[in-house]
Amino acid sequence: MLYGFVLTIHILVSFILIAVILLQAGRGGGLADTFGGGAAQSMFGTRGTVILTRATTVCAAVFMLTSLTLAVLSVQQGRSLMERAPAKQPETPKPTEQKPVDQK
């Protein structure tokens, strides 16, 4: 129950973090200016850069905390993907019956 809740928060924060980072204008313009990021920052005004910087910091901190929490919970609950995967048993060939050969 707790694992699913933390995982949901982690995924939501991931998408928010991606969006906030892409909205920020880079040093050389880059991707943000190409897709309207410069317009988003001018829309927020001078406070917009502070808001986006703080949002990035908060989202990054929450992302790291949820990552660590998921790691601890998965170890406690034994949720390792490698341990949950069914072990593939090698197929042993079935012995075939051999008919006696007629010797004439």
How many angstroms separate the CA atoms of 20 and 56, rounded? 6
Q: If pLDDT is split at 50, 70 and 90, which confidence band does 70 have?
A: very high
Residue bearing the bigger pLDDT, 85 or 8:
8
pLDDT digits (tens, 9 = 90+) for 12-58: 999 999 999 988 876 655 555 566 555 555 555 566 678 888 999 99
The whole-model pTM stands at 0.59
pLDDT for 12 equals 97
DSSP conformational letter for 97? P
- Quote the pLDDT of residue 56: 93
Amino acid, res. 56: T
Q: Which residue, chain included where needed, has tokens 């197929």? A: 91
